[in-house]
Amino acid sequence: MNKKPKNSSQGASTLRRGLHIFAALRRAPDGLDINGIARALEMQRTSVYRYVSVLIEEGYAIRDSQTGLYRAVLVSPELADEQTLSIAQLAPAMRRISDQTGDSSFLICRVGSDSLCLHREIGNYPLQVLSVTIGHRQPLGVGAAGLALLAALPADEAEAVIRQNQETLRSYGNMTAAHMRLLVEASRDRGWATIGNTAVSGALGVGVALRDRSGYPRLAISVSCILDRMPAARQRSIADLIRREIGEAA
């Protein structure tokens, strides 16, 4: 009987452990620290750190600089590289947006029928809406940036997303597919999105989509705060502010 080469066996074992860590991160949308991964997989912390470092280097995981938690990146490494460039380009504009509004700003992209938070900046107002963290995923449309992105999609593509999410939408303020269609239509009419009491109870967000050179929506930026701080006039001024800052960052 032929024996497998030792190096081949070790390589398979190494790959398996890396995949187990990636799977553990996928099962924890809020993220895990090194200790949490080590406990879940009964591995040594030093070994976990080495594997996680490789996953980050190759674009399969990210570390939230604010919480220190690690999350899986459920996109290709090539797209992760594009996202990294987008964050570097847009983070300064988001910082200015949060400084001027006093509220948190968020950068999201689309991953299938979901939105994925790529970056956030925190404002200086004492009460911030911070439930959406870097790496957080939710159905496309239940947050302001996701709604802006959904509304900017071609009509048939947006409808396919809504149909795919129609069951999970109910977990977000009893949202229905019919109501989501109304929100999408209103967002298209005004050119920016606003939505409240869905992803985060008691909060309202304003979102604006960013299109690539072909006109296709790739990213969106939103500002969220408590309902009392977002009357209609302020919603419009924040949408205009996001547009100005995006234009300068482009």
Instruction: Report the pLDDT value the prediction gives residue 75, as an integer from 0 to 100.
Output: 57
Residue 4: per-residue pLDDT: 45
Specify the pTM.
Answer: 0.70
Please tell me the least confidently modeled range out of 26-35, 41-50, 170-179, 227-236: 26-35
The mean pLDDT of the chain is 87
Q: Who contacts 228 (Cβ-Cβ below 8 Å, separation ≥6)?
A: none
Mean pLDDT of 93-117: 93
pLDDT digits (tens, 9 = 90+) for 144-203: 999 999 999 999 999 999 998 999 999 998 899 999 999 999 999 999 999 998 877 889
The Cα-based distances of 220 to 14, 53, 149, 242 in angstroms read 38, 28, 6, 10
For residue 43, the SS3 value is coil
Q: How confident is the model at residue 1 (pLDDT cuts 50, 70, 90)?
A: very low
